[in-house]
Homo-oligomer: A and B are copies of this chain.
Amino acid sequence: MLKDYDFTQLPDTYDEQSIKELGQTFDQLQRELQAAEIPVLILLDGWESSGKGYVLKALTREMDPRYVRVEVYEKETKQEKKHPSAWRYWQKIPSKQEIAIYDRSFYYQVFNHEEPGPESLQQKTQELLAFEQALIDNGTIVLKFFLNISHHTQLERIKTLEASSQADFLLSKEDYKQAKHHDKFLKWFDQVLQATDLDHSPWRIINAEDKKLAAKEILGQTITTIRQEMKRVLEDREVSQAPNRNYQSHSLEVPQEDLERKLSEEEYQRHKEDLQKQAAELVYQCYCHDIPIVLVFEGVDAAGKGGAIKRLTREIDPRSYKIYGIKAPTEEELAHHYLWRFKTKFPQDGLMSIFDRSWYGRVLVERIEGFASEKEWDRAYQEINQMEQILVDHGTIVLKYFLYIDKEEEGRRFKARQDEAAKNYKITEEDWRNREKWDAYMVAMEEMLTRTNQDQAPWHFIASNDKYFARIQVLTQFVDTLEQHLKEK
């Protein structure tokens, strides 16, 4: 890609139009994108001193600035290092109203790798590729540009910058390093570009020997590509069925003997306190070892998720965890990728996030209520598995609980809630409506439990007809998992 690049070949495709005209066309196009609710992400990468600043100006100048956002990514801060590597990019993805331009793509972390070695390349890019793919699959248009200049030009530009009054500021160690070890960097960049070049999202290597021509080329390609991609995204929306769905649906079946398991209050009390203290101690050790923890609680309505969480956290230092009760998404959340609101809530190293309901809403309530199309929720199993895999790869303990009660028990609890003034707020019309869809939920839950039951992030099925039994199970699984994990450290 960069090797043997022919710098004498000038881009001229968009030469009849001025930068200004292209910019205005782009501005017009942005309004079409906005009306169609299609987010756009432009990644701008390249050599040091290759003119990214100039190109950024050309790209944004004619746009309605309220809907274009430039995000600069430099070296990760301490804070950012305490998360999986795509985390900081997820925070700032474009909403359905926006075009976001990342100055330095997320592949920069790989470009900027200190000790280049192809063996670690695949592992390093995997998470980032998954991130890009997740955006594309959910209807974001992604464009990737790499500004290419020759070694000669880079040296010339450094010389010019050295003469300017702002030399200290404009030139970094990185410039000199690249200029000095040009061949080494070229080889390495080529490897990264190849490893992250996708058929449907190719790298566009731009001849940036002339900044102005480069800016025109990028504007032109952006406009042309967005026009094509808009069509694709809109057509894609029309298709709501999953293309290759061959899952055989079953209803969730739970052996009656599981549901009949019980603990006496005395047994419960005897176990509980010990387990709570152990849980607190183990969380504390995870904190000391910088191990992040993610807990997911899903289950049948009224199965006792809230109560189980309360008992689990009772002795744990409240500074070390946050509990997120997941409700219907807000307007802002709806304008983003459906995983965005969770990505922003993942814990930094050493802390714990507890989700009372979670991203599994995609394949449960959103599936059943039709908020997600079949194609979308069918794809979600893989997206979710991938997301959890990334957490695990980063060193996160992922623990997923599924709390189940049978339909009779749910009926009893709903009624009890309605009758008891202090718990009245817990029961709504919507709960009763959900109950009518019991069978549909059982089918969706069975598929979820089967398709997202990964080795490293398995589901823990908690039979919860007896609350005491359920809470002790939750605590026991928690303690066992953390102990196991800490032992393996």
Complex CA gap A284/B57 in Å reads 14
Question: Chain B's nearest CB lies how many Å from the CB of A142?
Answer: 19
Asked if residues B78 and A317 are in contact (CB atoms below 8 Å), the reply is no
Asked if residues A319 and B79 are in contact (CB atoms below 8 Å), the reply is no
Interface-forming stretch among A65-73, A397-405, A450-458? A65-73
Question: Chain B's nearest CB lies how many Å from the CB of A423?
Answer: 11
Contact with B along A46-79 (1 / 0, CB 8 A): 0000000100110111101111011010000111
> Given A288-B166, A330-B330, A332-B330 in contact, is the A319-B103 Cβ separation under 8 Å?
yes
In this complex, what residue of B is CB-closest to A70?
Answer: B318
Q: Is A324 an interface residue (CB 8 A)?
A: yes
Q: Is A177 an interface residue (CB 8 A)?
A: no
Q: Is A163 an interface residue (CB 8 A)?
A: no
How many positions in chain A have a CB within 8 Å of any CB in the partner chain? Answer: 45
Asked if residues A284 and B70 are in contact (CB atoms below 8 Å), the reply is no
Residues of chain A from 299 to 354 with CB closer than 8 A to chain B in the complex: 306, 309-310, 313-315, 317-319, 322-325, 330-332, 354
Number of copies: 2
Asked if residues A310 and B425 are in contact (CB atoms below 8 Å), the reply is no
Q: Is A413 an interface residue (CB 8 A)?
A: no
On chain B, the residues within 8 Å of A64 by CB distance are 306
On chain B, the residues within 8 Å of A284 by CB distance are 166
Residue among B103, B169, B318 making CB contact with A60, cutoff 8 Å: B318
Residues of chain A from 447 to 487 with CB closer than 8 A to chain B in the complex: none
On chain B, the residues within 8 Å of A103 by CB distance are 319
Contact with B along A76-108 (1 / 0, CB 8 A): 011100000000000000000000010100000
Complex CA gap A70/B321 in Å reads 9
Q: Is A356 an interface residue (CB 8 A)?
A: yes
Asked if residues B332 and A288 are in contact (CB atoms below 8 Å), the reply is no
Among A31, A65, A324, the most chain B Cβ lie within 10 Å of the Cβ of A65
In this complex, what residue of B is CB-closest to A64?
Answer: B306
Asked if residues B78 and A318 are in contact (CB atoms below 8 Å), the reply is no
Question: Chain B's nearest CB lies how many Å from the CB of A15?
Answer: 23
Asked if residues A322 and B69 are in contact (CB atoms below 8 Å), the reply is yes
Asked if residues A318 and B56 are in contact (CB atoms below 8 Å), the reply is yes
Task: Give chain A's interface residues, CB within 8 Å of chain B.
Answer: 28, 31, 53, 56-57, 59-62, 64-67, 69-70, 72, 77-79, 101, 103, 166, 169, 284, 288, 306, 309-310, 313-315, 317-319, 322-325, 330-332, 354, 356, 422, 425
Additional 9 contacts, C-beta under 8 A, given A53-B319, A65-B356, A77-B79: A28-B422, A59-B318, A60-B318, A66-B325, A70-B322, A77-B77, A166-B284, A166-B288, A330-B330
